[in-house]
Amino acid sequence: MTEAANAQAIYDAIGAVLTRWTMGSAATPTAPFWRAEFGDDPAEAELRLLALSGQFLAVAVTTEPSSTLRFLPDIPALALPTVPEALRPLVRRLMAAKKDPQLKNELVHFLAARGWTSHPADWMPEAGDEDAPDVYAAWRDWAEIAASNIASRQQTSDRLTADNWEDFWPAARKAALAELRRRDPSAARTVLEAKLGNESADARLRLLSLLSERLSDDDIAFLGGIAANDRAPKVKALATSLLARLGRGPGAGEDVAELAGFFSLKTKGLLRRSRVIQAEPPKTPARWQRRKALFDGADLTSFSGALGVTPHELVAAWDWNVDQAADTALIKLIAETGTDALVTQAAEAISERDATGLVVALAPRLAPSERARFAEVALRRHGINFETAQLIAGATARLADPLSAPAGNALLAALRRDDAKPSDQVSELYAVGLIASRDGARQSLEHLTGAGLLQGDPRLDMLRLNAALDDNGAKP
């Protein structure tokens, strides 16, 4: 018998061997070709058969793929370096501990803000992960290539144009368009004018949202066309919202006039008289719902016009902290249809009046430096907790000594309690690690270990990562 035929005979017999073992029977009778190697002891013979069959399958048998193999491109290098090797175990532990995708998203945004990316073996975004930082766009596209049967395209240039639009995969295209919008708003709009109509509704929505960066009157004609003619209601709504930020809302109508009827413009003060806009509480649940529906369909310029004031005067005269539902509705209106200056003015107003929770809704519209400033003011003046401060501050905050704020004193007191458990204050400690500067993280670690926490306490992982990581990111 030839060597190949002998190997085939052994391979054919392995199935019977496995069947007998599965049934709890001895299998050596089905393998006579190894009888000389088995010896005389039946138990020893079974062990030798196990060793011989395992070696045969590992060495002499090659599994053939069930279909044609695909050759994927290499995982692309990113614009930022990978976290230092010594810190990768800490990143992996944080990733494993955070089951909520939002918490993992906060971590990767923190790393990007400090000038680093994760190792691909520790974390990679999925193709549809729109919340991932733009630096991971190439990995998102790689994930889409890996999950599809489409051949990868070769990107011919880093600068996006209408001519090379199809050379970019979706995530890289969006990142390139965002960069082009920051650098040359007119060129980005020109590219969108040529290519937006060919995209899906979801893609149109994502790409059109990039026009909020450096929005100007030059965009009015393009946005007007989208608002009037786009096939998707959500895309039309976004275009209408962007037009409203430019003072080109739908204008005052019966609905806006009805909404204004829920409020009154009054004067107060004897010597220094000032105007104040007060809410007239609806008398029935149906009227409450009607006011909410009217707010949802309004824009800031039209609403202020119906009250007889400018948008800036409306924000200055609003009677905050009296009708929380009205406050929330106005902040939503400002975030969606107000100018950048109005967003900042509203954030200042509610920060001064200790309505800090409303700043969270405005935070995505604020510049990174403003977000950090409002977060610190709220921590020190209004005593908010660190989780709320992190929602306001975002990924770029670098607070110098967060534990000196009232929330820090409350955190240390909670950790020192006699009945404190190892699972207490996990979210607060994680938030401190996200918003502290590198020196602030080191100081916080000293305070916390002084309060009795062990150096290896996993609740301190985010602070340890912050303290150990060089800060190479752009400062807000």
Q: Per-residue pLDDT tens for 91-121? A: 999 999 988 888 899 999 999 999 999 999 9
Contact 107, 94 (CB under 8 A): yes
pLDDT at residue 206, as a whole number: 96
Contact 334, 345 (CB under 8 A): no
pLDDT at residue 253, as a whole number: 74
Q: If you write DSSP's letter for every residue of 276-299 in order, what string do you get?
A: EEEE---SSHHHHHHHHHHHHT--
Q: Token digits for 440?
A: 């602030």
Contact 133, 108 (CB under 8 A): yes
User: Hey, what amino acid is at 25?
Assistant: S
Contact 133, 149 (CB under 8 A): no
Q: Is 338 exposed, middle or buried (0-12, 13-18, 19+ CB in 10 A)?
A: buried
186 three-class SS: helix
User: Hey, what amino acid is at 86?
Assistant: A
233 three-class SS: helix
Q: Token digits for 6?
A: 């002998």
pLDDT at residue 5, as a whole number: 67
Below-50 pLDDT ranges, the chain = none
Q: If you write DSSP's letter for every residue of 400-454 in order, what string do you get?
A: S-GGGSHHHHHHHHHHHSTT--TTTTHHHHHHHHHHB-HHHHHHHHHHHHHTT--
Q: Is 372 exposed, middle or buried (0-12, 13-18, 19+ CB in 10 A)?
A: buried
pLDDT at residue 72, as a whole number: 79
Distance CA 461, CA 287 (A): 50
pLDDT at residue 156, as a whole number: 64
Number of H helices, E strands in the chain: 24, 2
DSSP state of 155: -
Q: Token digits for 100?
A: 């909520």
What is the reported pTM? 0.82
pLDDT at residue 251, as a whole number: 65
User: Hey, what amino acid is at 354?
Assistant: D
List of E strands, 243-327: 263-268, 274-279
